[in-house]
Structure formats: structure tokens, C-alpha cells
Structure 1
Amino acid sequence: MRRVIGWRWTFFIAGMLIMSLGITMSIKGKVIGTSPWDVLHVGLFQNFGLTIGTWSILTGLLIITSTSLVLKEWPKLGTWLNMFLIGLFIDVFNWLLPATDVYVLQIAYFVVGVFILSFGCGMYIAPNMGAGPRDTLMMILVEKFGGTIKSARMGIEVLVTILGGLLGGPVGIGTVLIALTSGYIVQYSLPYCRKVLLKCIGNMEGVKPFY
């Protein structure tokens, strides 16, 4: 059992690390826009200071508090770690990765970043250690108001994109591309990462499935 838990936590944290690298790369290539939530985080950073990662944590904390009041229960440890570590990793990578004003390099940053963040997303979801704050919000909207996960996600992302755009966040064709393509990449990376995770764990006989 310790082996199972150990590998699950390893994939969970490594996935968030990889996803944060991809998020930061897409932000570095913001000349063509960035993801809906990062449009908001960058807009808040440009207007009120702090760091992009800090705003990611603060918006996540606001969502966790709100969803906890609705559900009348505290989320899993993984949800709290998701909120904190992704914001922390974004700031670390933002400091480590060099910025560029070269248009072609910014596009390269963006394109590679989309693939990396989408793969990392599938990797951190694979061990099922707790949904992120924004995913929890999406599920609550579906449960309370009906509709599909796709429509709930689209509605949330349109709203935060508008809000972030009003704050001067980087809205562009890249914002649309991330919204349209990241889900497809995760669709392939998630089962792949689960397969690798099961291989790392080894014999699963008698172990309760974690997804």
C-alpha cells in the first residue's frame, strides 16, 4: 500500500510541476494570448502587483472557500496542494525561464507550453488525489444547474477571460487555441499516464482502484 500511495503522490506532484512549466511557457508567449485563467492572473498582476503565481493561489483560495460553503465540507488535501503548489511553481519557473521580445520565440514558447501543460494536467489527474479548485467549481455548476461539463467549463472560461481582458490581461488567438486544444491533449495523456503509473506500482491485485 505504501508503494501505491508513494507513486500516486509522485505522479500528482510531478504532474503539477510539469503543468506549471507549461503554464509559465504559455505566459512567456503571451504575445498571442494565454489561457483564460492566466489572462485573469496576469491582468491582476499588472494592476495590483504581487506575482502571477500569488494571484493563482488567491483566486484558487477564493474558489475553495466558496465551493466549501456550497458543499459544506472541506476539500481533499490534494485540492489544497493543487492551489498552493501550482502558484508556487509558476513563480519559480517565471523566474527561471528567460523572457524574449522575439515574436517567433514567443510563439514557440506558447506552442510548446500548451503541449507541456496539457500533458502535465493528465499526469496530475491520473492518480486521482483531488480535483483542482477550478475543476471543483465546474462540477458544482453542473450538479446545481445541469448542463454538461463542457458547457460549464466554457462558461467559466468565457467569464474569466472577459474579466481578465478588462484588466488588461493578454487575450488573443492563443486564448482560443488553448481552450480548444488542451482538452484533446489531456484526453490522450491521461490514459497514458495512468498506464505508466500502474506499471510503476506493479502488482495491483487486491488494491482498491484509485480512479
Structure 2
Amino acid sequence: MSPATTMVRRILQLAIGLFLYGIGIALMVRAAIGVAPWDVLTQGIARQTGWSFGLITVLTSFVVLLIWIPIREKPGIGTVANAILVGPAAEVGLLLVPVQTHPVLQVLAFAGGLALVAIATGLYIGARFGPGPRDGLMTGLHRVTGWPIWVVRTGIEVTVLAIGWLLGGNVGLGTVAFALLIGPMAQPLLRLLLVPEPVRKREVPEPAPANALP
């Protein structure tokens, strides 16, 4: 695959991944059986402020990026795109999908949203344009503190979950399901959807003329 073709694939994969991520979040929100910890925080802030879910998602992303400064984490194009695009994509999903009240439809909506988020994670991380704001916060704190990655991630998510719950966010079985399943679901997709580095042709020296002196 040529460098130009690889770049086109990376850009498309990033854009599609971020859009699907927002739609997946919306599906889980509309399932109304609990959402991911960061979305619990978003719901809680939305309930207290009256602001839209998508707007708070964007604002929260940029607040997290400010925390990157003291831990010296460097954002990529994908990091900024994530901060800007996931919130509007979630708003589109919330406009298209009504709140589910039947238990079967709730489970189906949540499962579909979880699957989309797993696929989207593989797509946008596999595009190699940089981690999302929340992922970068996790890896940055891991690098600065030296704590195991699982300790850092658990600490962050328990903190935002607790704040979101106190503010009125929706904590439920879906929250537990997300915590247990998103890692195992996303891991193989990360390997499958990783865009390989373009293969560079080796420079082959030109053969010496037949009449050249030894």
C-alpha cells in the first residue's frame, strides 16, 4: 500500500471511528440501563446545567486536554478530532434514537451501542493519529506516576463515576457491563484494524558500468 493510500485510509478510518463512537454512546444512553463512567459524568453535568449531552462531551474533552499540560502529554490530530467530533456524533444519535422502555429493546440498544463503541475504538486508535483525551490522560498518568495502567484507569473511572452519580447520572447494569466487556471486545479489534506503516522501498545501488575500472 502506497503512503498516499495509507493516509487516505487513516483519515477515513479516524472519521468513521469517531462518528460510530458517538452513535454507540447515544445507543447506550437511550437504552437507559446505565452508561460508561465518563458518560455518567456527562449525564450528571447535563442534569445540573441543562446543557446538551454533546456539548458537555466536547467541553469535558477539552478540560481533560488541559490536564495533559502538566503531565506533558502531547496530543495528535486524532486527539483533537476526538474532542471535537464525538459529542456532535452523539447528538445525532440521540436525535435519531428514542428512549427505550421495553427490557428487550433496552438490552438490544445497549448491546448494539457497546459493539459500536468497541469497533469505533479499534478504528480510531488503529488510524494512528493519537489517543483520545481520556485515553491519553490514563497513559500520561501511568507514565508520570509509574502506577500500573489498570490502577490508573480504575482510579480515573471510579472518580468520574462517583461524581457523575452524585450529580444524577444513570448508573446501572449497563455501567457494569461496559466496564467488564469493553476491554475484551476492543482488544482483538485494535489488532485487526491497526493501519500498518507503509512499506518503503529499499534504495538499490545502480550497477557499475561494464567498462568501469575495478
Q: CA deviation at 1:74?
A: 5.5
Name the Cα RMSD after superposition. 1.7
Q: Distance in 1 between matches of 2:125 and 2:159?
A: 24
| Equivalence for 2:5 | 3
The separation in 1 between residues aligned to 2:113 and 2:20, in whole angstroms, is 10
Which structure shows the bigger proportion of residues in helix conformation? 1
SS of the residue aligned with 1:70?
coil
Q: Is the 8 A contact 1:57 1:83 kept in 2?
A: yes
Larger radius of gyration: 2
CA-CA distance at 1:123 after TM superposition = 1.1
Question: Hey, what's the Cα distance between the residues in 1 that align with 2:76 and 2:120?
Answer: 20
Q: Is 1:95 aligned with 2:95?
A: yes
SS at 2:69 equivalent = helix
TM-aligned CA deviation for residue 205 of structure 1: 2.4
In the other structure, the counterpart of 2:63 is 62
Shift of 1:182: 0.3
Distance 1:74 1:150, change over 3 A: closer
Question: How many equivalent pairs are there?
Answer: 199
2:180 matched residue in structure 1: 180
Inter-partner Cα distance in structure 1 for 2:70 and 2:151 = 23
- Aligned equivalents of 1:159 and 1:119: distance in 2? 26
Q: Where do 5+ consecutive residues of structure 1 fail to align?
A: none
TM-score, length basis structure 2: 0.87
1:190 corresponding residue in structure 2:
190
1:50-199 equivalence runs, <5 A: 50-71=51-72, 75-194=75-194, 197=195
What is the CA deviation profile of residues 190-211 of structure 1, one whole-angstrom value per residue up to 9, with x for unaligned ones? 11212xx55xx9xx4208xxxx
Question: In the alignment, which residue of structure 2 is the partner of 1:18?
Answer: 20
Amino acid of the structure 1 residue aligned with 2:155: G
Between the aligned partners of 2:179 and 2:26, the Cα distance in structure 1 is 16
Contact 1:68 1:75 in 2 (8 A): no
Divergent runs of 4+, >6 A: none
1:135-187: CA deviations, max 9, x gaps?
11101211121122122111111100000000110011211110111011111
